[in-house]
Structure 1
């Protein structure tokens, strides 16, 4: 049986990154892990994930949720160092 940790590890991102995507896309974490794995496996997928995170960070900033925006921007910066 696969655990949540197994699924997150398989997708290629850290747990906090998957959880941030899950929250921003209103998805269960397990579905966000699957989506992330699929996106990162396809050409241009990493850019798409970064675009989604950037859009969500901008939306959070506009509504005054600086903590969420900061967390998403930190994740984006961490992902850029992996390229």
Structure 2
């Protein structure tokens, strides 16, 4: 039996990144992990993930949730670094 940790490890992103995507897409974490695995398999998909995370960070700032925005900025830094290495 696969665990949620297995699914997250398979998708190639960190747990906090998958959770951020799950919240944005309003999906269960395991479904978001599957979606992310498909998206990050290509440069265009990874660019889409970065755009979604940027939008989430902006929304967090607008509602005054600077802690969430900072967390998303850290995630974005990792994703941008991965994009730069492709």
TM-score of the alignment, normalized to the shorter chain, above 0.5: yes
Using the alignment, how far apart are the partners of 2:19 and 2:59 within structure 1?
Answer: 17
2:80 counterpart residue number: 80
Structure-to-structure mapping, 1:1-80, within 5 angstroms = 1-80=1-80
CA RMSD of aligned residues (A): 1.1
Using the alignment, how far apart are the partners of 2:70 and 2:11 within structure 1?
Answer: 23
Aligned pairs, number? 83
Using the alignment, how far apart are the partners of 1:41 and 1:78 within structure 2?
Answer: 16
| SS class of match (2:20) | helix
| SS class of match (2:40) | helix
TM-score (structure 2 length as normaliser): 0.88
- By relative contact order (CA 8 Å, sep 6+), the higher-ranking structure is 2
User: What displacement does 1:51 show?
Assistant: 0.2
User: What displacement does 1:25 show?
Assistant: 2.2
Unaligned runs of 5+ in 1: none
